[in-house]
Amino acid sequence: MKILIACEHSGTVRDAFRAAGHDAMSCDLLPTEQPGPHHQGQVEDVLYQGWDMMIAHPPCTYLAVSGLHWNKRIPGRAEKTEAALAFVRLLMDAPIDKIVIENPVSCISSRIRKPDQIIQPYMFGHPESKKTCLWLKGLPLLRPTKVLELPARGYWNNQTPSGQNKIGPSPDRWKIRSKTYQGIADAMALQWG
pLDDT of residue 15: 98
98-111 residue pLDDT tens:
999 999 999 999 99
Question: Region 117-123: what's the mean pLDDT?
Answer: 97
Whether residue 6 lies inside any domain: the answer is: yes
Whether residue 190 lies inside any domain: the answer is: no
Whether residue 127 lies inside any domain: the answer is: yes
The separation between CA 20 and the C-alpha centre of its own chain, rounded to angstroms, equals 20
123-171 residue pLDDT tens:
999 999 999 999 999 999 999 999 999 999 999 998 888 777 777 777 8
Domain span at 88: 2-185
Whether residue 193 lies inside any domain: the answer is: no
14-62 residue pLDDT tens:
999 999 999 999 999 999 999 999 999 999 999 999 999 999 999 988 8
pLDDT of residue 62: 83
Range 105-134 burial, b when 16+ CB lie within 10 A, else e: bbbbbeeeeebbeebbbbbbbbeebbebbb
The number of folded domains in the chain is 1
CATH code for the domain in which residue 165 is found: 3.40.50
Cβ-based neighbours of 163, under 8 Å, separated by 6 or more: 155
pLDDT of residue 144: 98
The confidence band for 77, taking pLDDT boundaries of 50, 70 and 90, is confident
Residue 71 has pLDDT above 90, yes or no: no
Whether residue 181 lies inside any domain: the answer is: yes
pLDDT of residue 147: 97
Question: Region 68-87: what's the mean pLDDT?
Answer: 91
